[in-house]
Amino acid sequence: MKPAPSVLALSGGVGGAKLALGLQRVLPPGELAVLVNTGDDFTHLGLRICPDLDTVLYTLAGVVHPKQGWGRDAETFGFMDELRRQGGPDWFLLGDRDLVLHVERTRRLAAGERLTQITAALAQRFGVPTLLLPMADSEVASLLDTDAGPLEFQHYFVRLRCEPRVRSLAFAGAAQARPPEELATVLRSSALRAIVITPSNPFLSIDPLLAVPGLRAALRAARVPVVAVSPLIGGRAVKGPTAKIMGELGLAADTASIARHYAGLIDGLVVDGSDAAEAHALGLPFAVTGTLMRNDDDRERVAHTALQLADRLAARVAADHGSIAADAARA
Amino acid sequence: MKPAPSVLALSGGVGGAKLALGLQRVLPPGELAVLVNTGDDFTHLGLRICPDLDTVLYTLAGVVHPKQGWGRDAETFGFMDELRRQGGPDWFLLGDRDLVLHVERTRRLAAGERLTQITAALAQRFGVPTLLLPMADSEVASLLDTDAGPLEFQHYFVRLRCEPRVRSLAFAGAAQARPPEELATVLRSSALRAIVITPSNPFLSIDPLLAVPGLRAALRAARVPVVAVSPLIGGRAVKGPTAKIMGELGLAADTASIARHYAGLIDGLVVDGSDAAEAHALGLPFAVTGTLMRNDDDRERVAHTALQLADRLAARVAADHGSIAADAARA
């Protein structure tokens, strides 16, 4: 029998995938589940592309491009060269090896399979022991209102390299989306011990997840600690536009903003050493470690820190849930 | 204004494409139209693949693999390597550059475009001055009944390397298919001077075309000479299973069998020098040249020979049609 996951991670792309790999490395095989943002997904050249799912898959399979943190190692670009030569759209890079995933996923979706099933089958092809779950089987599209007009995510993120100023975000299709049934199974399992929000972009990568109706409540209902790893290190993002977007949305790019953003959802926060002083003022349980993940030792250390923080909070969370349940019973 | 085609060629893959290239080289740009077999088409990995259309396109664009006669020159196989590594079906070779065509065609078909429109757009991408027409916009599938059971074309041709013995052929979907309207325009044009059946396999490549209802009658109704180039050289096929299949279908692999096969459709036959003696006994106008096409000089020579034979027969064909028309008027 397959072990039930003891840890559920919430992840976007590169940064989240690094911590997911750390968690996979410190947990016994099969004990990690990762719920992945699909708000970045789009249809390009008729192919359904799920960038965050692919980044997590490649990272957990050990075949991710080591420098980039996304895409394949040992990649070739014959398709892309030819597409460019034929005058096709060349702003979204598609490697020849990477294409296998998009073609296979598109074929299976057209055949009526759910994205959750397809993702599981692809993970199996790559020998990944972790349960990969898309946040929903139906399509959700992260849309940005910017000073360059409304933009679909990949157009903002890749084509325009995050240059436009963001005014607001919306998640089209989120209201109709439902978390996959496979997630409910994970959350209901008595094996579950912690939920970890990885240091992916809270606005672009984690918010789409939380926009799926019922998801936030389902996470809380699991009665296990929810801990987040802050995506900021000394007020800066490691990679990507987290700090830039926070500024554009009128938020200070600091740990307090992150804590406020996740208020009501998280029980604790892991922060980088450079933010330890600030964390003391949050009134929220926290743990400190170096959160920059350059190698597997770093990834394992951050994973351990997050799990230890969760374990430290387990009794209190269970008690809180008890009193909430008691409150509910009294009401 | 674009010139109206003066020559219509009927073609399958490799052999037909070589003569189509010869015709394109000897005719002014835009004066050639090629009607291409789509009975070989299939859906593989969710992609719509049209091997004969692609072979003709690549050949006319000058980017075909020079040794193979199909597929792309300067091709790479990152996709295929990865597909194999992931345990996907690897019997049908898909190059990285070649994939661009399949992905683009599949996308456009899904968007509701007709194969004829898509093919024209792809030909334009490649700068091909010739009008490429699929034999039909709807799907037709060549099916072989063999001693290894019923087989779809590509499974017979590629996966099983033509090894099974063929008992009979059928063209699924042919009864519902219609030639594209663009073909009718070519056939009705006063610019049309000749119809050339290329030396593609008469059973596997030309018969599917002729199975489309109305096509045979439309070719005759054009009142221009129809000449075929025999696919046999001294009783052997240059490439592919023509002679093998003729034997399996109980036909002698000779010029007389080819002439009988096209009886009622063709007005003349181009044969190789090695079959000249046999041709004299056919009671059919013929021309002789070396039909093995190793280089562009060969291709141009065979093209010239076919067109000269057609020109030689033009007056007689017009007169025959006149007497047929007169017969019809009398009846």
Type of residue found at B54: D
Contact A95 B104 (CB under 8 A): no
Hey, are the CB atoms on B76 and A95 less than 8 Å from each other? no
Radius of gyration of chain A (CA): 19
What is the count of residue pairs from A and B with beta carbons less than 8 Å apart? 84
Within 10 Å of residue A124's Cβ, how many Cβ atoms? Answer: 12
A153, A207, B69, B74, B174 from B13: Cα distances, Å: 42, 53, 9, 20, 19
What are phi and psi for residue A9, nearest 5 degrees? -105, 145
Give the containing element (helix H, strand E) for A104. Answer: helix A96-110
DSSP class of residue B64 equals: B
Lowest mean pLDDT among A90-99, A203-212, A244-253, B175-184: A244-253
In this prediction, residue A2 has a pLDDT band, given cuts at 50, 70 and 90, of confident
> A92 to chain B, minimum CA–CA distance in Å?
14
pLDDT of amino acid A241: 87
Write down the pLDDT at residue B239. Answer: 79
- Alpha-carbon gap: B74 to the closest alpha carbon of chain A (Å): 9
B32 to chain A, closest Cα gap in Å: 23
Among residues B229, B288, B233, B303, which one has the least CA distance to residue B259? B229
Specify the pLDDT at position B301: 98
- Nearest-by-Cβ selection for A78 from B76, B106, B126: B76
Q: Which helix (H) or strand (E) holds A48?
A: strand A47-49
By Cβ distance, the residue of B86, B88, B125 closest to A87 is B125
- Tell me if A166 sits within 8 A of A235, measured CB to CB: no
Whether B168 and B71 have beta carbons less than 8 Å apart is answered as no
User: Per the CB < 8 Å rule, is B126 touching A78?
Assistant: no
User: Chain B: residue nearest A122 by CA?
Assistant: B86
Closest chain A residue to B82 measured between Cα atoms? Answer: A97
Q: Select from B34, B290, B72, B313 the least CA-distant residue to A78.
A: B72
pLDDT category of residue A319 using cuts at 50, 70 and 90: confident
Q: Which residues of A touch B77 (CB under 8 A)?
A: 96
At A207, the pLDDT band (50, 70, 90 cuts) reads: very high
Predicted confidence at residue B327, as pLDDT, reads 60
Q: In sequence order, what E strands does chain B have?
A: 7-11, 32-36, 42-44, 47-49, 131-134, 141-146, 149-152, 166-172, 194-197, 226-229, 232-233, 236-237, 268-271, 286-288
Cβ-Cβ contacts under 8 Å, B78 against chain A: 75-76, 78-79, 95-97
Contacts of B81 in chain A (CB under 8 A): 97
Cβ of A99 within 8 Å of Cβ of B99? The answer is yes
Is A81 in contact with B97 (Cβ distance < 8 A)?
yes
pLDDT at A239: 79
**Tell me, what's the pLDDT at B219?**
96
Is the separation of the CB atoms in A144 and A150 below 8 Å?
yes
pLDDT at residue A131 in the model: 98
Shortest distance between the Cα of B249 and any Cα of chain A, in A, equals 37
- Note whether A125 contacts B75, CB cutoff 8 Å: no
**How far off is chain A from B172, nearest CA to CA, in Å?**
22
> According to the model, what pLDDT value does residue A3 have?
79
Nearest residue to A304 via CA among A224, A245, A210, A227: A227
Q: Does the distance separating the beta carbons of A83 and B79 come in below 8 Å?
A: no
**Mean pLDDT confidence for A254-269:** 96
Select from A223, A303, A311, A330 the least CA-distant residue to A268: A311
Chain A residues whose CB is inside 8 A of the B110 CB are 46
Cα–Cα nearest to B202, from B193, B194, B211: B211
The residues of chain B scoring below 70 in pLDDT are: 1, 322-331
pLDDT score recorded for residue A21: 98
CB contact under 8 A, B103 and A78: no
Global pTM value: 0.92
What was the pLDDT predicted at B72?
97
Residue A148 confidence (pLDDT) above 80: yes
Nearest residue to B153 via CA among B168, B143, B161: B143
Selected residue of A75, A100, A124, A126 to mutate for chain B interface (largest B Cβ count, 10 A): A100
Contact B46 A103 (CB under 8 A): yes
CA distance B139 to B141: 7
Give how far A301 is from chain B: nearest CA, Å: 32
Report in angstroms the alpha-carbon separations of A91 from A6, B96, B252: 40, 18, 57
pLDDT (tens digit, 9 = 90+) per residue, A21-49? Answer: 999 999 999 999 999 999 999 999 999 99
B99 interaction partners in chain A (CB closer than 8 Å): 79, 82, 96, 99
Mutate to test the interface with A, among B42, B43, B96 (most CBs of A within 10 A): B96
> Minimal Cα distance from B76: which residue of A?
A78
Q: What stretch of H or E contains B328? A: helix B296-330
- State how far the Cα of A138 lies from the Cα of A83, in Å rounded to an integer: 29
Q: Are B45 and A126 an interchain contact pair (Cβ–Cβ within 8 Å)?
A: no
The answer to whether residues A306 and A287 touch, using CB atoms and an 8 Å cutoff, is: yes
Quote the CA–CA distance of A63 and B273 in Å, as a whole number: 58
| Residue A325 pLDDT exceeds 60 | no
ipTM for this prediction: 0.90
Top residue of A97, A125, A126 to mutate, by most chain B CBs within 10 Å, is: A97
Separation in Å, CA of B10 to nearest CA in chain A: 27
Residues in B closer than 8 angstroms to A87, CB to CB, are 125
CB within 8 Å: B75 and A78 = yes
The CATH code of domain A7-330 reads 3.40.50.10680
Per-residue pLDDT of A117-139, as tens digits, reads 999 999 999 999 999 999 999 99
pLDDT band at A116 (very low <50, low <70, confident <90, very high): very high
The pLDDT value recorded for residue B323 is 65
Q: What is the distance in angstroms between the Cα of B125 and the nearest Cα belonging to chain A?
A: 6
Looking at residue B331, what is its pLDDT?
Answer: 53
* H or E, element range at A168: strand A166-172
Q: Considering chain A, what is the average pLDDT of its residues?
A: 94
Question: What string of DSSP letters covers A261-287?
Answer: HTTTT-SEEEE-GGGHHHHHTSSS-EE
**8 Å CB contact of B81 and A97:** yes
Q: C-alpha angle with apex A198: A195 to A203, nearest 5 degrees? A: 110
Q: Considering just the CA atoms, what is the radius of gyration of chain B in Å?
A: 19
- Return the domain boundaries, chain A: 7-330
Residue A321: burial class (beta carbons within 10 Å; 0-12, 13-18, 19+): middle
* Residues forming beta bridges with residue A72, ordered by sequence position: A64
Which of B63, B65, B100 to mutate against chain A (most A CBs within 10 Å)? B100
